[in-house]
Structure 1
Amino acid sequence: MTMDFDALLLSRLQFAFTIAFHIIFPSFTIGLASYLAVLEGLWLTTRNEAFKTLYLFWIKIFALSFGMGVVSGVVMSYQLGTNWSVFSAVASPVIGPLFAYEVLTAFFLEASFLGVMLFGWKKVGPGLHFAATTLVAVGTVISAFWIIAANSWMQYPEGFTTLADGTLRATDFWQVVFTRTFPERLTHMLLAAYLTTALEVGGASAWRLLRNAADPESRIALRMAIGMFAIVAPLQLFVGDLSGKEVMEVQPAKLAAIEAFWETRTEQPFHVAAWPDRAIEGNRWELSIPRLGSWITAGDAQAEVKGLKDFPPEDRPPVAIVFWAFRVMVGLGVAMIGLGAWGVWLIWRSGGPERHPLYLRAAILMSPMGFVAVIAGWIVAEVGRQPWVITGVLRTRDAVSPIGAGEVSASLLAFMVVYAIVFSVGVLYILRLIAEGPRPVPAQDTEPPLKPRPPGYALGAAPDDPEGGPR
């Protein structure tokens, strides 16, 4: 029994470790692909060379991030078979098609046009190249659609039946895809990706502006990032509130853990900070605002909200980690709103943020916080679902593969060593590129052809031949 528990714990730690690395790359590339499409569209519309310079700079970051995201995603899919084979056997008839559709409709689309996007500046016309960039951006959104659909079904399963052998079968595919929690969760994830990208772009631009306040590309990029903060961050808070109210209806135990509510009562307080303790079934101390908890969670200060004591101890999520992860996520969201409002005020009243080193330093400090918020949000969603891997259907302890702790610990150690080397090198190289900043490139090196190639052009044509003639 101890060995089984150890294998379960190590399998959970391994999946948490790998997904924490993986999620930072899709959350960045989803937003960055859309940002690249906007930059190229603006360049084609205005012919302002600053937009092309920014595009050619950020596409290098995108290519590296996309590659690391693919590699880390493949590792995660293997774990479903090695560490979570029971879950795969039980649930794959329902959510397996969702993963397959993600590959067929999203990954193939991205892979097909990524080459044109990366290497097609001198090979295809401007319209086709812009179409390739746009399709890659659309592919990243479609990928998020299917992954969030699968996860939302695991959070609140609908449209299925359980067979005599314990496996699940879909009875209504549309219900499987469009579960009750899916719209808010997809919107919340996409907005988080756009904010993460905006923070990175804003921080990189601020870094350059501290050294050269007249850098035109960085001035433009920072103002675009500020516009994203100002619009998307408040919208994210609104969508998050809608998602929280949905959680109260479909996952009340998770909601109780998020807010550290132990007793079921009306006029629940809002705990700004607390020390939840499962051993005493209460909070050892708390800093609270009376009645605000019911109003935030239910929209009514008089509403009754369930506490954790209404659920059997074996059905309660870990409270402390969920409680604090939620507050990290929300606190960073409020900071993003403040950063956007501050930036808009500086543009409106003070001539621009590039003249204010304090703001630039704040933007640099906030640049990695999008990733922190995304990981904190994932902890809330996934740890808050425990002890279920499929809510109300399959417990996590029953989903693990019949393997020993030794095998899992060996693979976990191997992952930690490999990730520490490979991803550290990749991230350091990305940071080095960001520190160098965008540099204008001679037009002849990157300009898409504005006229058809002459009839003599062939695959053997010299790439640096401006006439495109045969070698």
Structure 2
Amino acid sequence: MFGLDAIELARIQFAFTVSFHIIFPAFSIGLASYLAVLNGLHLWTGRDVYLTLFNYWKKIFAVAFGMGVVSGIVMSYQFGTNWSVFSDKAGPVIGPLMGYEVLSAFFLEAGFLGVMLFGRDKVGARAHFLATLMVAIGTLGSAFWILSVNSWMQTPQGHAINEVGQFVPVDWWAIVFNPSFPYRLVHMVLAAYLTTALVVGAVGGWHLLRDRANSGARTMFSMAMGMLMVVAPLQILAGDLHGLNTLEHQPAKIAAMEGHFEPHPNGGAPLILFGIPDAANETVNYKIEIPYLSSLILTHDLTSPLPGLLDFPVEERPPVGIVFWSFRIMVALGFAMLGLGLWALVLRLRGTMYDRRWLHRAAIAMGPAGFVAVLAGWITTEVGRQPWTVYGLLSTNDSVAPVEAAAVGASLVAFIVIYFTLFGAGTFYILRLMGKRPDSGAPMSDLGPTRAAGVTPAPAVDDKFIPAE
């Protein structure tokens, strides 16, 4: 079908569904934590603006969370249809891990979600904050288990292979905390926080362009830009550490990311900023490079050896063009996020952050950047792992189910139509919610603290520590 065989269609289908799915958890993980912070700040200070923003963003969270759940459930069925051989061989390891995610993290989210969304007047402010905190912890728990599953596929350990070729657990501690897991978990959680900060900043910037005195817009914009300034440098550091780990365990992926066909046994590898990889001729055309910098970044040493794709058989090399460009898109957006945060910091110190319309426009333009960076990062990770599903042990060709190309192609077309219709409508509704004003538009001086149910506002809080000011 479409001139593609069953395995190519199965890979396209999984890539399509997982790309749709990941944008919702990437947003809801960060947004759940943001809601917990807003709820906690209102509990601590009694300021109405925090409760107003909580009620504003909880509706958006509810829709994004629902779409994430639906897209995740649909995606998981592909393990039993298109990838049944992989499920049979790796099921004894990944099955329990995914079960733990449902039993612990997802049940925690689902159990407290209703209280968070509808129960404030019934349970009181403190119990409501606890429920919000549990939802946030649940989203992080989901990331923990899912990243553990995926990281084991990247750097498998703690298992044995039985007589029928199945991976069976030997050491669960080693399986869960496999070598790449800590780095990938931190990298993904920080990416989720950056994604949320950019969306919140974009919404705040949108409303500031219309009313610079809107207290809700000022507060969310201030918090988002502050989060960006803190998390973007941490993400760059985490990415550097993740790269060192990837070089140790998946050197072919690093070679593809860097565009290095020739190995550099004596170090001194250049950093290729841009170019056009040519896998057929094993070179990068029209490249712009900085001498020695790749060795310095990847090994923190100018003389340490670096592998090249020529060190690996052709059939074990990842698709270099895709990995090369997706990695550069992710890195470029990461530095753009840092630049936006620095710009906002300078204007904050000058006291003009709410008045500079070009900053607000830039924040709006950067609103989708987190989602693009997350997708680019996952493309780098997953395509860079090829041709393996379990790295070095089980190939993608040996993981696909014995299904006909026509069946996979038909389901792919159905997914495309349904996903764009359903999730397109959901995304349109989220954008409409974001377009509504975050409060009545009253001046900040009219939005003083009120006494929440059973909560006394914190006395004598210095205004310079309040993000709205």
TM class by smaller structure = over 0.9
Corresponding residue number in structure 1 for 2:466:
none
Counterpart contact for 1:20–1:375, Cα < 8 Å? yes
Q: In the TM superposition, what whole-angstrom CA distance separates every residue of 1:357-412 from its partner, at most 9, and x where no partner exists? A: 11000000001000000000000000000000000111001101100100000000
Corresponding residue number in structure 2 for 1:231:
230
| Separation in structure 2 between the aligned mates of residue 101 and residue 129 of structure 1, nearest angstrom | 26
**Pair 1:247-2:236 in alignment:** no
- Describe how 1:212-291 pairs up with structure 2 within 5 A: 212-265=211-264, 266-291=267-292
Corresponding residue number in structure 1 for 2:339:
338
Q: In the TM superposition, what whole-angstrom CA distance separates every residue of 1:15-53 from its partner, at most 9, and x where no partner exists? A: 000011000000000000000000000001111100000
Q: In the TM superposition, what whole-angstrom CA distance separates every residue of 1:234-262 from its partner, at most 9, and x where no partner exists? A: 01000000000111110000000000101
3-state DSSP of counterpart to 1:438: coil
- Describe how 1:6-405 pairs up with structure 2 within 5 A: 6-265=5-264, 266-349=267-350, 351-405=351-405
Q: Aligned in 2, Cα 1:71/1:448: closer, same or farther, shift over 3 Å?
A: farther
**Pair 1:432-2:437 in alignment:** no
| Separation in structure 1 between the aligned mates of residue 316 and residue 236 of structure 2, nearest angstrom | 29
Corresponding residue number in structure 1 for 2:461:
none
Deviation of the 1:95 alpha carbon: 1.2
| Separation in structure 1 between the aligned mates of residue 283 and residue 414 of structure 2, nearest angstrom | 39
Q: In the TM superposition, what whole-angstrom CA distance separates every residue of 1:299-337 from its partner, at most 9, and x where no partner exists? A: 111221000000000000000110110000000000010
Q: In the TM superposition, what whole-angstrom CA distance separates every residue of 1:208-243 from its partner, at most 9, and x where no partner exists? A: 000001001110111101111111000100000000
AA at the equivalent of 2:376 = A
AA at the equivalent of 1:179 = N
3-state DSSP of counterpart to 1:439: coil
AA at the equivalent of 1:435 = G
Deviation of the 1:449 alpha carbon: 4.9
Counterpart contact for 2:344–2:353, Cα < 8 Å? yes
| Separation in structure 1 between the aligned mates of residue 336 and residue 367 of structure 2, nearest angstrom | 12
Counterpart contact for 1:294–1:302, Cα < 8 Å? yes
3-state DSSP of counterpart to 1:271: strand
Q: Aligned in 2, Cα 1:173/1:232: closer, same or farther, shift over 3 Å?
A: same
3-state DSSP of counterpart to 1:122: helix
Mind listing any 5+ residue stretches in structure 2 that lack a counterpart? Answer: 456-469
Deviation of the 1:438 alpha carbon: 1.1
State percent identity of aligned pairs: 54
Mind listing any 5+ residue stretches in structure 1 that lack a counterpart? Answer: 452-471
Worse-matched range after superposition: 116-125 or 233-242: 116-125
Counterpart contact for 2:215–2:441, Cα < 8 Å? no
| Separation in structure 2 between the aligned mates of residue 180 and residue 360 of structure 1, nearest angstrom | 41
Runs of 4 or more above 2 Å deviation:
2-5, 439-443, 446-451
| Separation in structure 2 between the aligned mates of residue 420 and residue 85 of structure 1, nearest angstrom | 26
| Separation in structure 2 between the aligned mates of residue 274 and residue 305 of structure 1, nearest angstrom | 19
| Separation in structure 1 between the aligned mates of residue 65 and residue 310 of structure 2, nearest angstrom | 44
RMSD across aligned positions (CA): 1.8
| Separation in structure 2 between the aligned mates of residue 312 and residue 159 of structure 1, nearest angstrom | 27
3-state DSSP of counterpart to 1:107: helix
Counterpart contact for 1:123–1:448, Cα < 8 Å? no
Counterpart contact for 1:54–1:217, Cα < 8 Å? yes
Deviation of the 1:3 alpha carbon: 11
Deviation of the 1:285 alpha carbon: 2.2
3-state DSSP of counterpart to 1:285: strand
Deviation of the 1:284 alpha carbon: 2.1
Q: In the TM superposition, what whole-angstrom CA distance separates every residue of 1:168-218 from its partner, at most 9, and x where no partner exists? A: 101100000001111111000000000000000000000000000100111
Taking structure 2 as the reference length, what is the TM-score of the superposition? 0.93
| Separation in structure 1 between the aligned mates of residue 440 and residue 302 of structure 2, nearest angstrom | 57
Corresponding residue number in structure 1 for 2:418:
418
3-state DSSP of counterpart to 1:398: coil
Counterpart contact for 1:202–1:363, Cα < 8 Å? yes
Deviation of the 1:429 alpha carbon: 0.7
AA at the equivalent of 2:127 = L
3-state DSSP of counterpart to 2:123: coil
| Higher-RCO chain (CA-CA 8 Å, sequence separation at least 6) | 2
3-state DSSP of counterpart to 1:304: coil
How many residue pairs are counted as aligned between the two chains? Answer: 447
| Separation in structure 1 between the aligned mates of residue 279 and residue 209 of structure 2, nearest angstrom | 48
| Separation in structure 2 between the aligned mates of residue 269 and residue 420 of structure 1, nearest angstrom | 42
3-state DSSP of counterpart to 1:286: strand
AA at the equivalent of 2:312 = F
Q: Aligned in 2, Cα 1:247/1:404: closer, same or farther, shift over 3 Å?
A: same
| Separation in structure 2 between the aligned mates of residue 303 and residue 7 of structure 1, nearest angstrom | 42
| Separation in structure 2 between the aligned mates of residue 55 and residue 441 of structure 1, nearest angstrom | 16
AA at the equivalent of 1:407 = A
3-state DSSP of counterpart to 2:276: strand
3-state DSSP of counterpart to 1:354: coil
Counterpart contact for 2:43–2:452, Cα < 8 Å? no
Taking structure 1 as the reference length, what is the TM-score of the superposition? 0.93
3-state DSSP of counterpart to 1:397: coil
| Separation in structure 2 between the aligned mates of residue 73 and residue 365 of structure 1, nearest angstrom | 28
| Separation in structure 1 between the aligned mates of residue 417 and residue 47 of structure 2, nearest angstrom | 45
